[in-house]
Chain A
Amino acid sequence: MADTDVLVAPNILEYPYTRTVGPVLGRFMTGLRDGRIEGIRASDGRVLVPPAEYDPVTSESLDQFVEVGQAGVVTTWAWVTEPRPPHPLERPFAWALIRLDGADTALLHVVDAGDESKMATRMRVRVRWRDHRVGEIQDIACFVPEEGQ
């Protein structure tokens, strides 16, 4: 290597954070571990999924948990053509906002549709659980299109 060549080296920063989740998200995560999806009822009657600790309008504490369905509707989505190492799937997939049955807000997650042409706003999708669940959002491996679409 000539003396004039510029040196290049990998520089990797890693922060092994553990985050405490609090009582509301803690219960949501516990539900996921048990294969259940729980939202929370807001003061205006809406069901928020994932649950919020405080009412988005009145700011009061919320504690009325509501179990919602394991399938729902894609409200918007973006197709990832070339997944990168930290992504949940190694093949092309969609990031999507999914409004589960019984919920009034949408959850950001992954749709494993195989091909972009299978994706559509308002399509129905269903949860695919991970085999070994530990109580984190990745316990939902992804959502998949409902059969018969």
Chain B
Amino acid sequence: MSDTDTVEPVRSIRAPARLEYRFTAGAAQSRFLRHLVEGKILAQRCPQCGKVYVSPRGACAADGVATREEVEVADRGTVTTFCVVNVKFAQQVLTIPYVSATILLDGADIGLMHLIQEVEADQVHMGMRVEAVWSPPEERGPTLESIRYFRPTGEPDAAYESYREYV
């Protein structure tokens, strides 16, 4: 005998996907991550095109040459593009809406992705000047989470021309 007439039929199934990786940061990124513990943002300059990469990957993607020269970049910069997160997902730490942005740090030639806080999501905009809010030294580790988030500095917006190449 079947229960199908009285019991709700199956309409959905659980189909979780789980991918377990072991991420190896590499030499350049490991040095970058360790400098975060000291409150410093380490980048590398390409000997050919002169571009400054953060986080550094040990080579220039455009020229294919090793980037051995290390330079420190500022912990403040300009929002080049951003995304307002309005969708809930599992293991979400922040309350929505919140803003994830690409920040062109002063002295860098590539954007760094991080959170923007201490400002309403709908106030974040391209060209906005922001600065890092670091965790207290004793809580820092070799992780980008040592920077808790970025917040507006209150400076006037950067001119579009100053970051148009990076959008």
Contact = CB atoms under 8 A, between A and B. Distances in A.
B9 A27 contact: yes
Interface in B25-42: 25-27, 29-31, 33-34
A30 B31 contact: no
B11 A9 contact: no
A15 B4 contact: no
Contacts of B21: 10-13
A63 B33 CA distance: 59
A90 interface: no
B87 interface: no
A128 B16 CA distance: 24
B99 to A, nearest CB: 23
Contacts of B92: none
Nearest to B9: A30
Contacts, number: 91
Interface string A109-139: 0000000000000000000000000011100
B86 interface: no
B18 A6 contact: no
Interface in A16-67: 16-21, 26-27, 29-31, 33-34, 36
Contacts of B2: 34, 36
B12 interface: yes
Interface string B91-111: 100000000000000000000
A18 to B, nearest CB: 5
A115 to B, nearest CB: 29
Nearest to B25: A7
A4 B26 CA distance: 10
A54 B146 CA distance: 54
B19 A20 contact: no
Contact of A6 (B11, B16, B20, B26): B26
B16 A136 contact: no
B14 interface: yes
Contact of A12 (B19, B26, B33): B19
A82 interface: no
Contact of A7 (B14, B18, B29, B91): B29
A34 B23 contact: no
Contact of A34 (B3, B17, B18): B3
Of the listed residues A5, A7, A19, A36, the one surrounded by the most CB atoms of chain B closer than 10 A to its CB is A7
Contacts of A36: 2
Contacts of A148: none
Interface centre among A3, A6, A10 (most CB of B within 10 A): A6
Contacts of B14: 16-18, 136
B13 interface: yes
B24 interface: yes
7 contacts: A3-B31, A5-B30, A6-B27, A9-B22, A12-B21, A14-B90, A20-B11
Given A7-B30, A29-B13, 5 more contacts: A3-B31, A9-B23, A13-B19, A15-B18, A29-B10
